[in-house]
Amino acid sequence: MVSAQRLKVNLPDSPPPQVIHDAVCPACCCLCDDIALTVRDGRVESVENACQHGRAWFLSPPKENVSAASIDGASAPLDAAVAAAARVLRAARYPLVYILPDMASEAQRLAIGVADWLDAVVDTATSGGHAPSIMGFQNAGKVTCTLGETRNRANLIVFWGTNVVKTYPRFFTRYSAEAKGMFVPRGRADRTCIAIDVAENETTRSVDNSYFIRPNADFEVLNTLRALIGGIRLDADRVVRQTNVPLTAWTELAEQMKQARFGSIVFGRGLMHSRGRHANCETLFRLVAELNDHTRFICRSIRAAGNITGGDKTMTWRTGFPFGVNLARGYPRYSPGEYTADEVLARGEADAALIVGGVASERLSNAAAAHLARIPAVYVASRHEPFTVNPTGQAAGTKIAIQTAIHGLQSAGTMYRMDDIPLRTRAVVPSPLPSEADVLRMLEDHLRGG
């Protein structure tokens, strides 16, 4: 019989945990880069400095499926799946490449290269989210700055149509309201925080003063503030009827904005997607520019999770346009309401699709998702698209799925923070799966080979 002591002596020592400092959390567009991770036996054991969303992202990643590739539901070697993907996409007359945000900008660049080889329509998740802000920016320009500058300088912050306290908790504590900065050393005590929204939420309850406006009245409110800042007299009855808030309250806010040492308007989907959409954003950008006649003022849009800002940057770098680009004629054509993934699918035009870096059906209208389910499609992502394969092969076209390593956890690359700052994510745990960039590089080689 072997003694317990002897057993203990013969057992190999379990490797000590590895502590990784200053890791980037890719779970939302804040990309907090001060996360400490303890990694043991190939998985993250503990997370420090992250909010509850970030902790959950690192501690409960999606289940990994090591049979990484499949063709029509049957497991296939990676090479065979990529070759089949190239055949399917090359055979299409009007292919779509849809770039989603769970991937590095290096992979986004390769996806645009693939679209170029295919003469495809190429679009990103921005078309279904942040597009109104981009279009407003194209019309009016934008006065903005980095999150670091807001943190160090802003003594008035207006949260407009965004519940950051709930969705991005550390935006509130690390970059804005509660953060201590160079010129606001006491943090929250040195700042005035205001919220403009249609209903009470966690953010309106955390600020000094809230304005509850009529739904879809953002355009009217923005123009009320522009008029007051420009010294134009307004009809008090009309203002309260249109905005739900008395003129005296708007006059007080306009004065507060002019008197701020450094002001910031942080806006979200509530403003971007209410009636007016890109006209709201354009009017906001004009309001902020006009405020700079009186003081220093900027605006900052809150983006969705993942590398969505990187998609805009990479698309603009490679095609000259931020989203919704048609490469069918061999040169880029941009038409925001025409060449988006949702439009070309919902109109039944795309006859094959490459979906990369996320789950497309979560972002598409019912008509677009239904058409995507009917056509041949290649999915390259760490999360599988919930498509159904018709065993008769009649209704659904060929479906090729290639599972990739989880970006920011199992594979490294560049991501862009919401303020356009690029940050490098790390592969903190190993994975046998390829990255999106690995797969797209193989696919591009096939397409290039003719």
Q: What is the DSSP string of 131-200?
A: HHHHHHHHHH------HHHHHHH-SEEEEES--HHHH-HHIIIIISTT---SS-TTGGGG-EEEEEESS-
The reply on whether position 268 binds ligand SF4 by CB under 6 A is no
Q: 335: part of which helix (H) or strand (E)?
A: none
Query: Do 34 and 435 contact (CB within 8 A), yes or no?
Result: no
Q: Which stretch binds ligand SF4 (CB under 6 A): 132-140, 166-174, 325-333, 398-406?
A: 166-174
Q: CA 52 → CA 9, 42, 236, distances in Å?
A: 40, 22, 44
The amino acid at residue 110 is: L
Cα(54)–Cα(28) distance, rounded to whole angstroms?
8
Residue 400 Rama label (left phi>0; alpha psi -120 to 50; beta): beta
Q: Which residues in the 53-82 window bind ligand SF4 by CB under 6 A?
A: 53-54
In 77-227, which ranges are E strands?
95-99, 121-124, 156-160, 192-197, 209-212
Residues sharing a CB contact under 8 Å with residue 143, sequence separation 6 or more, in sequence order: 285, 288, 289, 292, 297, 298, 299
The reply on whether position 303 binds ligand SF4 by CB under 6 A is no
Give 28 or 84: the residue with its C-beta nearer to ligand SF4: 28
Residues sharing a CB contact under 8 Å with residue 441, sequence separation 6 or more, in sequence order: 110
- Min separation Cβ 31 and ligand SF4, Å: 5
- Min separation Cβ 32 and ligand SF4, Å: 3
- Min separation Cβ 145 and ligand SF4, Å: 19
Q: What angle do CA 343, 344, 350 make, to 5 degrees?
A: 160
Give 32 or 71: the residue with its C-beta nearer to ligand SF4: 32
Q: Which stretch binds ligand SF4 (CB under 6 A): 81-89, 162-170, 190-198, 306-314?
A: 162-170
- Min separation Cβ 50 and ligand SF4, Å: 4
- Min separation Cβ 182 and ligand SF4, Å: 21
Q: Which stretch binds ligand SF4 (CB under 6 A): 20-28, 206-214, 233-241, 281-289?
A: 20-28
Cα(246)–Cα(151) distance, rounded to whole angstroms?
31
Q: Which stretch binds ligand SF4 (CB under 6 A): 21-29, 37-45, 221-229, 238-246?
A: 21-29
3-state secondary structure of 288: helix
Tokens of 308: 């969505």
Cβ atoms within 10 A of the Cβ of 16, count?
A: 7
The reply on whether position 27 binds ligand SF4 by CB under 6 A is yes
Residues sharing a CB contact under 8 Å with residue 42, sequence separation 6 or more, in sequence order: 429, 430
Q: Which residues in the 167-206 window bind ligand SF4 by CB under 6 A?
A: 168-170
Give 30 or 284: the residue with its C-beta nearer to ligand SF4: 30
Give 125 or 396: the residue with its C-beta nearer to ligand SF4: 125
β-strands 192-197, 156-160 pairing? parallel
- Min separation Cβ 150 and ligand SF4, Å: 15
- Min separation Cβ 425 and ligand SF4, Å: 11
The reply on whether position 25 binds ligand SF4 by CB under 6 A is yes
Figure out which of the listed residues 23, 31, 260, 429 binds ligand SF4, where binding follows CB under 6 A: 31
The amino acid at residue 247 is: L
The reply on whether position 281 binds ligand SF4 by CB under 6 A is no
Q: Which stretch binds ligand SF4 (CB under 6 A): 48-56, 193-201, 261-269, 388-396?
A: 48-56
| Number of residues this chain uses to bind ligand SF4 (CB under 6 A) | 13
Cα(263)–Cα(192) distance, rounded to whole angstroms?
10
* Residue nearest ligand SF4, CB atom distance: 54
Q: Which stretch binds ligand SF4 (CB under 6 A): 49-57, 69-77, 202-210, 428-436?
A: 49-57
3-state secondary structure of 285: helix
Q: Which stretch binds ligand SF4 (CB under 6 A): 47-55, 99-107, 331-339, 374-382?
A: 47-55
**Dihedral sign of CA atoms 17, 22, 24, 27 in order:** positive
Cα(46)–Cα(218) distance, rounded to whole angstroms?
43
The reply on whether position 51 binds ligand SF4 by CB under 6 A is yes
Q: Which stretch binds ligand SF4 (CB under 6 A): 30-38, 79-87, 150-158, 256-264?
A: 30-38
- Min separation Cβ 59 and ligand SF4, Å: 12
> Measured in whole angstroms, how far is the alpha carbon of residue 355 from the centre of its chain?
16
Footprint of ligand SF4 (CB under 6 A): 25, 27-28, 30-32, 50-51, 53-54, 168-170
